[in-house]
Amino acid sequence: MSLTKCCILVLCFAGVLPQSIKTSNRGQNETQPFVEIGSKYYLIYTAVTMIWFCAMLYCRNYDSDLAVIESEAEMDALNSYLTTNGHIGKQFWLGITDLAEEGKFMSIKGGRPMPYAKWSGGQPDNKGLLEDCVHLWPVNNIFHMNDNNCRAKLYAICELRQPKKSCDICDLKIIIERFMQHTNVSHSQN
Ligand SMILES: [Ca+2]
Ligand SMILES: [Ca+2]
Protein backbone atom coordinates (compact mmCIF):
# COMPACT_ATOMS: atom_id res chain seq x y z
CA MET A 1 0.00 0.00 0.00
CA SER A 2 1.41 3.39 -0.97
CA LEU A 3 1.98 6.22 1.50
CA THR A 4 -0.81 8.18 -0.17
CA LYS A 5 -3.32 5.39 0.39
CA CYS A 6 -2.20 5.02 4.01
CA CYS A 7 -2.74 8.74 4.54
CA ILE A 8 -6.23 8.49 3.09
CA LEU A 9 -7.09 5.70 5.52
CA VAL A 10 -5.72 7.72 8.45
CA LEU A 11 -7.83 10.70 7.35
CA CYS A 12 -10.91 8.50 7.34
CA PHE A 13 -10.25 7.41 10.91
CA ALA A 14 -9.35 10.94 12.02
CA GLY A 15 -12.77 12.42 11.48
CA VAL A 16 -13.62 12.55 7.81
CA LEU A 17 -16.25 9.96 8.52
CA PRO A 18 -19.62 11.33 9.63
CA GLN A 19 -19.91 11.68 13.39
CA SER A 20 -23.21 9.84 13.42
CA ILE A 21 -21.53 6.49 12.82
CA LYS A 22 -22.17 4.00 15.55
CA THR A 23 -21.25 0.37 15.85
CA SER A 24 -24.27 -1.71 15.06
CA ASN A 25 -26.14 -3.42 17.83
CA ARG A 26 -27.70 -6.56 16.51
CA GLY A 27 -29.20 -7.50 19.84
CA GLN A 28 -32.48 -5.62 19.65
CA ASN A 29 -32.96 -5.25 15.95
CA GLU A 30 -30.53 -7.30 13.97
CA THR A 31 -30.95 -5.54 10.63
CA GLN A 32 -31.51 -1.93 11.70
CA PRO A 33 -30.78 0.47 9.90
CA PHE A 34 -30.53 -1.85 6.88
CA VAL A 35 -33.41 -2.42 4.50
CA GLU A 36 -34.30 -5.74 2.92
CA ILE A 37 -33.91 -5.57 -0.85
CA GLY A 38 -34.23 -8.86 -2.68
CA SER A 39 -32.25 -11.51 -0.80
CA LYS A 40 -29.95 -9.11 1.09
CA TYR A 41 -29.98 -6.25 3.56
CA TYR A 42 -28.50 -2.94 2.43
CA LEU A 43 -27.74 0.43 3.98
CA ILE A 44 -28.25 3.13 1.34
CA TYR A 45 -26.29 6.03 2.82
CA THR A 46 -27.07 9.35 1.12
CA ALA A 47 -26.32 11.90 3.87
CA VAL A 48 -22.68 12.46 2.89
CA THR A 49 -20.58 11.67 -0.16
CA MET A 50 -17.23 10.01 0.48
CA ILE A 51 -14.15 8.84 -1.36
CA TRP A 52 -14.11 5.06 -1.89
CA PHE A 53 -11.70 4.34 0.99
CA CYS A 54 -13.89 6.20 3.48
CA ALA A 55 -17.04 4.53 2.15
CA MET A 56 -15.38 1.17 2.74
CA LEU A 57 -14.54 2.11 6.33
CA TYR A 58 -17.98 3.62 6.86
CA CYS A 59 -19.59 0.26 6.09
CA ARG A 60 -17.17 -1.55 8.39
CA ASN A 61 -18.55 0.55 11.25
CA TYR A 62 -21.85 -1.22 10.74
CA ASP A 63 -20.36 -4.73 10.60
CA SER A 64 -20.98 -4.61 6.88
CA ASP A 65 -19.05 -4.14 3.65
CA LEU A 66 -19.49 -2.01 0.56
CA ALA A 67 -22.04 -3.91 -1.48
CA VAL A 68 -20.94 -6.57 -3.95
CA ILE A 69 -23.69 -7.46 -6.41
CA GLU A 70 -23.52 -11.19 -7.04
CA SER A 71 -26.22 -11.87 -9.60
CA GLU A 72 -28.60 -10.34 -12.13
CA ALA A 73 -31.42 -10.88 -9.64
CA GLU A 74 -29.58 -8.83 -7.01
CA MET A 75 -28.79 -6.13 -9.57
CA ASP A 76 -32.42 -5.93 -10.67
CA ALA A 77 -33.72 -5.79 -7.09
CA LEU A 78 -31.28 -3.03 -6.13
CA ASN A 79 -31.96 -1.08 -9.33
CA SER A 80 -35.68 -1.31 -8.74
CA TYR A 81 -35.31 -0.05 -5.16
CA LEU A 82 -33.00 2.83 -6.06
CA THR A 83 -35.10 4.05 -8.96
CA THR A 84 -38.36 3.94 -7.02
CA ASN A 85 -37.02 5.53 -3.83
CA GLY A 86 -35.67 8.82 -5.13
CA HIS A 87 -32.07 7.79 -5.83
CA ILE A 88 -32.09 7.92 -9.61
CA GLY A 89 -29.70 10.90 -9.88
CA LYS A 90 -27.15 9.51 -7.42
CA GLN A 91 -23.99 7.46 -7.68
CA PHE A 92 -22.96 4.79 -5.18
CA TRP A 93 -19.69 3.07 -4.41
CA LEU A 94 -19.55 -0.71 -4.57
CA GLY A 95 -17.02 -3.05 -2.93
CA ILE A 96 -15.17 -3.77 -6.18
CA THR A 97 -11.69 -2.55 -7.13
CA ASP A 98 -8.76 -3.26 -9.45
CA LEU A 99 -6.27 -1.41 -7.22
CA ALA A 100 -4.17 -4.54 -6.76
CA GLU A 101 -3.87 -5.43 -10.43
CA GLU A 102 -5.08 -3.19 -13.24
CA GLY A 103 -8.05 -4.63 -15.08
CA LYS A 104 -8.59 -7.42 -12.56
CA PHE A 105 -11.66 -6.37 -10.61
CA MET A 106 -11.89 -8.01 -7.21
CA SER A 107 -14.48 -8.12 -4.45
CA ILE A 108 -13.21 -6.55 -1.22
CA LYS A 109 -15.64 -8.75 0.68
CA GLY A 110 -14.31 -12.10 -0.39
CA GLY A 111 -11.02 -11.23 -2.08
CA ARG A 112 -12.23 -12.99 -5.22
CA PRO A 113 -12.94 -11.83 -8.77
CA MET A 114 -16.11 -9.75 -9.00
CA PRO A 115 -18.96 -12.24 -9.23
CA TYR A 116 -21.26 -10.20 -11.46
CA ALA A 117 -20.86 -7.18 -13.73
CA LYS A 118 -23.26 -4.85 -15.46
CA TRP A 119 -20.92 -2.31 -17.05
CA SER A 120 -22.33 0.68 -18.86
CA GLY A 121 -21.26 1.14 -22.48
CA GLY A 122 -17.49 1.42 -22.95
CA GLN A 123 -16.70 0.62 -19.31
CA PRO A 124 -14.48 -0.17 -17.59
CA ASP A 125 -12.13 2.26 -19.36
CA ASN A 126 -9.61 3.16 -16.62
CA LYS A 127 -9.90 6.75 -17.85
CA GLY A 128 -6.70 8.73 -17.41
CA LEU A 129 -5.16 5.56 -15.97
CA LEU A 130 -6.77 6.65 -12.72
CA GLU A 131 -9.96 4.62 -12.35
CA ASP A 132 -9.71 1.70 -9.95
CA CYS A 133 -12.94 1.70 -7.94
CA VAL A 134 -16.36 0.59 -9.14
CA HIS A 135 -19.64 2.37 -8.58
CA LEU A 136 -23.24 2.39 -9.70
CA TRP A 137 -24.51 5.23 -11.87
CA PRO A 138 -27.78 5.61 -13.71
CA VAL A 139 -27.72 5.44 -17.49
CA ASN A 140 -31.13 6.07 -19.07
CA ASN A 141 -32.62 5.65 -15.59
CA ILE A 142 -31.13 2.18 -15.14
CA PHE A 143 -28.19 1.65 -12.79
CA HIS A 144 -25.01 0.30 -14.38
CA MET A 145 -21.42 -0.12 -13.22
CA ASN A 146 -18.45 2.10 -14.03
CA ASP A 147 -14.84 2.27 -12.89
CA ASN A 148 -14.06 5.68 -11.41
CA ASN A 149 -11.31 7.54 -9.61
CA CYS A 150 -11.31 6.16 -6.05
CA ARG A 151 -11.06 9.73 -4.76
CA ALA A 152 -14.34 10.77 -6.33
CA LYS A 153 -16.92 11.57 -3.68
CA LEU A 154 -19.99 9.38 -4.01
CA TYR A 155 -22.58 7.82 -1.73
CA ALA A 156 -22.19 4.36 -0.20
CA ILE A 157 -24.23 1.19 -0.34
CA CYS A 158 -23.35 -1.15 2.50
CA GLU A 159 -24.34 -4.79 2.57
CA LEU A 160 -25.01 -6.56 5.85
CA ARG A 161 -22.67 -9.50 6.38
CA GLN A 162 -24.19 -12.93 6.20
CA PRO A 163 -24.56 -14.69 9.57
CA LYS A 164 -21.80 -17.14 10.39
CA LYS A 165 -22.37 -20.69 9.26
CA SER A 166 -24.09 -22.83 11.83
CA CYS A 167 -21.13 -25.28 11.84
CA ASP A 168 -19.39 -22.93 14.31
CA ILE A 169 -22.31 -23.38 16.67
CA CYS A 170 -22.34 -27.12 16.00
CA ASP A 171 -18.66 -27.39 16.95
CA LEU A 172 -19.33 -25.50 20.18
CA LYS A 173 -22.31 -27.72 20.92
CA ILE A 174 -20.20 -30.86 20.48
CA ILE A 175 -17.52 -29.48 22.82
CA ILE A 176 -20.15 -28.67 25.48
CA GLU A 177 -21.75 -32.11 25.13
CA ARG A 178 -18.37 -33.83 25.54
CA PHE A 179 -17.58 -31.66 28.55
CA MET A 180 -20.93 -32.54 30.13
CA GLN A 181 -20.38 -36.25 29.45
CA HIS A 182 -16.91 -36.05 30.99
CA THR A 183 -18.31 -34.22 34.03
CA ASN A 184 -21.05 -36.80 34.48
CA VAL A 185 -18.51 -39.65 34.28
CA SER A 186 -16.29 -37.90 36.83
CA HIS A 187 -19.23 -37.43 39.21
CA SER A 188 -20.37 -41.02 38.88
CA GLN A 189 -16.84 -42.22 39.72
CA ASN A 190 -16.65 -40.04 42.89
CA1 LIG B 1 -8.31 0.49 -13.20
CA1 LIG C 1 -14.69 4.57 -16.24
Question: At 69, which CATH number?
Answer: 3.10.100.10
Give the span between the Cα atoms of 108 and 158, in whole angstroms.
12
Helix (H, G, I), strand (E, B) or coil at 63: coil
Ligand closest to CA 97: 1
Q: Is residue 185 part of a domain?
A: no
- C-alpha 28 to ligand 1 mean position (Å): 41
Predicted pLDDT at 110? 80
Predicted pLDDT at 162? 79
Predicted pLDDT at 109? 85
Q: Is residue 27 part of a domain?
A: no
Q: Please give the residue range of the domain that contains residue 58.
A: 8-18+32-164
Predicted pLDDT at 31? 66
Rounded average pLDDT per 10-residue block, the chain, 190 residues: 50 49 46 89 97 97 95 98 97 98 94 96 98 98 98 98 62 62 59
Q: Is residue 179 part of a domain?
A: no
Q: Is residue 171 part of a domain?
A: no
Give the β-pairing of 92-97 and 154-160: parallel
- C-alpha 143 to ligand 2 mean position (Å): 14
- C-alpha 113 to ligand 2 mean position (Å): 18
Q: Is residue 1 part of a domain?
A: no
Query: Could you give phi then psi for residue 102, rounded to 5 degrees?
Result: -55, 130
Residues 6 or more apart whose Cβ sits within 8 Å of residue 102: 126, 132
Predicted pLDDT at 84? 97
Q: Is residue 50 part of a domain?
A: yes
Predicted pLDDT at 9? 55
Predicted pLDDT at 63? 87
Indicate the number of domains in the chain: 1
Predicted pLDDT at 168? 53
- C-alpha 127 to ligand 1 mean position (Å): 8
